[in-house]
Structure 1
Amino acid sequence: MIKVLIVEDDPMVAQINKKYTESIDNFIVIKICKDGIEAFNYIKGNEVDLVILDIYMPKLDGIGLLKKMRKNQILIDVIAVTAAQNVEKVDEMFKYGVVDYLIKPFEYKRFKEALDKFMLKYKLLHEKTVVDQKDLDKITNIKNKNSKPQLEKGLNIRTLNRIRKCIEGYKQNSFTSNDIAEKLKLSRITIRKYMEYMVSIQELRSEIEYGSIGRPKNIYVKGTEK
């Protein structure tokens, strides 16, 4: 279980954060502290995996606690959960090593994303003896340029692959949605929807061709290099 310390001076917010945290598998809140001094004293004598930290608190605020932790070589991961939107404070928190920053009021979905991201990092760094570039890209949110993006809602992978195959075998390097629609016996509107998706993921390039008569046409070109 991931042992979580919540540092929050508002009792109601603290309980909401506790409820959110413990609704996610493998997370347990072991303590709620109302200020930075209480939190620091607890951290010194107890095992903590993650701190969910507010900034504005009495006695010792969130930034003060974070500085004190780092000065004493306490390298526990911290997620800042606060209403503070001041750029300097946000920048300072990141410089002291917060792994995520949630601005109140936030939705449960965003809170869960922060904890899921932390769990991914925790597992990779605690269950493996060595990591490769793919592992590091996962925990730093860098997507491999060769990874396949998620298919947009309303599109079908089989239809997309049929269109890809048709385009690969098409003799000309450029074509319209009508050209592909005629080949596959599908509607031009359907084909254009898929081809615009392929443009968005950089499988095709879209250009406008202005003729002497009539409306301009959308021309699609294989690849993305001009």
Structure 2
Amino acid sequence: MIRFLFLLSSLICSYSFSDSNYRNELENFAQKLVFDKYNSQNELNNNEKLDLQVAPLDNRLNYPQCQTELIGEIVNDSIKRNTSVKISCLDETPWTNYLRVRVNVLQKTAVVTTGVSKGQTLNQDNVTAVYMDKTLIRNGGFISPESLYGTRLKRNLSADKVIRDRDVCFVCKDDKVSIYATNVGLSIKASGIALSDANIGGTVRVKNSRTQRIIVATVTGLKEVKVSF
């Protein structure tokens, strides 16, 4: 009797394990179908990657293993944020199931690793890069943590927050900055004091330390500005 119960238990466990594996196979089949379709229609850049989440099949239901090749079809032939996939089996006992696949494009973005305060300088100890849902990144996020080293915060940020353009300044008010004045065949370097905050590509008022003249220059880098003459 004990041997019989042990054998019965083994058969049940084996069946359960096999059924679970086949559910995984169906989910992986749907995921690959969406992956291939998405990549045939879209091109990700080096700072993006595709994240697909398949809604698990109900483990209370039985999914008989198909004895012929599975047939997959993306409903409406359209990749959406929530994409439906139809999987059919056409063997002697045909069946059809629908799976839902969540489609997210993740983008590399810089975040703070710990809580940081207004005025604090960003560096390798408090900035890192993570991949995040692209739809959640708006208003000027940064891809490279290294590009932020040396910048200062204009507001408090809690741990894991995305660093946006409005949160930092590459040139901050009262910073000592290098002024590069250029003309055809001629370049002059001077020093000055920033009178306002600005980021790369923005304009800032700067007082020349030698002449005390106030100029409007374009920020070109960390504590660097450029003016043409």
TM-score between both structures, scaled by the size of structure 1: 0.24
TM-score between both structures, scaled by the size of structure 2: 0.24
The structure whose residues are more often helix, as a share, is 1
Question: In terms of Rg, which structure is larger?
Answer: 2
The structure whose residues are more often strand, as a share, is 2
